[in-house]
Amino acid sequence: MDDSLFINGKWHGGKKTFTSLNPATGKSIGSFALGTKKDVEKAIEAAEKALPEWAGTPAPKRGEYLFEISRLLRKNKEKLAARVTEEMGKVLNEARGDVQEAIDIFEYMGGEGRRLFGHTTPSEMNNKTAYTIRKPVGTVGIITPWNFPIAIPAWKISAALIGGNTIVFKPSSDTPRCAADLVRILDEAGIPPGVVNMITGSASEVGNEIVTNPRIRGLSFTGSRETGKWITQHAGIKKIGLELGGKNAIIVMEDANLDLAVEGIIWGAYGTTGQRCTAASRIIAHEKIRKPLEEKLAGRIEKLRIGNGMDSKTDIGPLINEKAVEKSLQYSIIGRKEGKLVEGGKALDTKGFFFEPTLFTGVKPRARIAQEEIFGPIAAILHVKNLNEAIRVCNNTVYGLSSSIYTNDITRAMRAIDQIEAGITYVNSSTIGAEVHLPFGGVKQTGNGTREAGSEGIHEFTETKTVYIDYSGRLQKAQIDNR
């Protein structure tokens, strides 16, 4: 299958192709078109041509398309989930969740078609009305990662569509088939030609052109902090939304329900094989419960079953590719120098890209494994004496995406909510589990202040227009006539 270029409502192949692999087996699941700069230019032309009619379609009508997309995703959920597991590797239950997020966000954003709220405010003068409305940015570029190959494109595409934009979409080269599956459903739902265009291919050519082309008026990117910095430097003057990762912490106080905390840590650190921007790679534990917490975690980690995500008995699937295995192995070597290895630390000598769930303890706050995003199944325990130190250690990172505290003291919980520097804080729950009707995003170098999902997700893809209507019958001068 090399017909993975979708331009102006039609599928095309490419002169050159690349291969997508099943990370559980290392075998090819298909070849896909290696798009070019010229393909991106064609997609932009199609998007620009389609923009006036799509932007002029009433938002409630645009919402009807999104409801149909949601319905088709629900109808095809099991098939899509299996294809997510085959191409990305996450266990089947998590793959179902990936698709369910897409179902939910298209349904939610469809409803926003009857909202798209601006606000009204009193004018400082008589016989004058003042209010705001939301207008589309225009043709936008969307660049997505591989770890949520259906959900993250859905977050962005749904918000861009309901806002009245047209789209040039580049998915990760690790999961092009999942992206094509999603776009085929958009096409089946009747999205007009040119409104959504997809170009598969390399970051160096396809991604670079989407980022730098001045005809792309908005850009939404999820990926690494380093790439986010490059985008900021090279995108030019356009609206940019960046979601760049995290080094998320779970704080466990001495009064916490340890069994509940252990479940949250296992899910946060090793769910999706640690390949989430919200993964819990730091456990900040009160020194009084250090030993029982480590013992309980070690016992649970030993029981985790590693294997193909299609097997219902599997708890942890593969990493996405060989480079990810090498990266986890290097951090495991670093971790042995920075702390004590409790469990794991090795790649599996088998087909596919598997790495053991790994835990270190006695790690210092400034250690590399406590500071750098690993994106693998590696977590570090850091010990603290009190809540103040726990919050200070939690904030001691350049990232600020997700956070969690386990405690039965409401005062401690509220202090953590107030003082932790993160876009998301959970109490007595893990660092993962965002819901589509609430904004998602972080602070500091996790991003540039934009949020996805929820009503704020629309702001990334719309501009605010201020309107004044003067029906006084004379020229009124603001800041002058109102005295």
pLDDT in tens, 335-377: 999 999 999 999 999 999 999 999 999 999 999 999 999 999 9
Fold of 248-427: Aldehyde Dehydrogenase; Chain A, domain 2 (3.40.309)
The active-site residue out of 87, 112, 178, 277 is 277
pLDDT at 141: 98
pLDDT at 24: 98
The amino acid present at 339, given as its one-letter code, is G
Q: What are the extents of the domains in the chain?
A: 5-244+447-467, 248-427
Instruction: Indicate the pLDDT class of residue 4, thresholds 50, 70 and 90.
Output: confident
5-244+447-467 has CATH 1.10.1660.10 classification: no
Question: Which two three-digit tokens encode residue 298?
Answer: 């070690």
**Burial grade of 106 (CB within 10 A; 0-12, 13-18, 19 or more):** buried
Instruction: Indicate the pLDDT class of residue 147, thresholds 50, 70 and 90.
Output: very high
Q: Can you tell me the distance from the alpha carbon of 268 to that of 281, in angstroms, rounded to the nearest whole number?
A: 8
Contact indicator for 198, 183 with CB cutoff of 8 Å: yes
pLDDT at 2: 62
The active-site residue out of 86, 87, 101, 243 is 243
Contacts 24+ apart (CB under 8 A), 50-54: 50/8, 50/166, 50/192, 50/193, 50/194, 50/195, 51/136, 51/138, 51/139, 51/165, 51/166, 53/192, 54/164, 54/165, 54/166, 54/192, 54/195
CA distances from 321 to 227, 342, 456 (A): 19, 25, 34
Instruction: Indicate the pLDDT class of residue 248, thresholds 50, 70 and 90.
Output: very high
Angle at 88 (CA atoms; ends 83, 89), nearest 5 degrees: 95
Q: How far is CA 401 from the centre of its chain?
A: 11
Q: What is the DSSP letter of 205?
A: I
> Is 243 one of the annotated active-site residues of the chain?
yes
pLDDT at 483 over 70: no
What would the pLDDT profile of 225-247 be if each residue is shown by its tens digit?
999 999 999 999 999 999 999 99
Measure the CA dihedral 303/305/306/309, to 10°: -150
Q: Which helix (H) or strand (E) holds 186?
A: helix 176-188
- Same CATH topology for 5-244+447-467 and 248-427: the answer is no
The amino acid present at 110, given as its one-letter code, is G
Q: For all residues of the chain together, what is the average pLDDT?
A: 97
Buried b (16+ CB within 10 A) or exposed e, 277-292: bbbbbbbbbbeebbee
Lowest model confidence (mean pLDDT) among 207-216, 237-246, 434-443, 472-481: 472-481
**Burial grade of 471 (CB within 10 A; 0-12, 13-18, 19 or more):** exposed
What would the pLDDT profile of 270-311 be if each residue is shown by its tens digit?
999 999 999 999 999 999 999 999 999 999 999 999 999 999
pLDDT at 134: 97
What would the pLDDT profile of 14-59 be if each residue is shown by its tens digit?
999 999 999 999 999 999 999 999 999 999 999 999 999 999 999 9
pLDDT at 136 over 80: yes
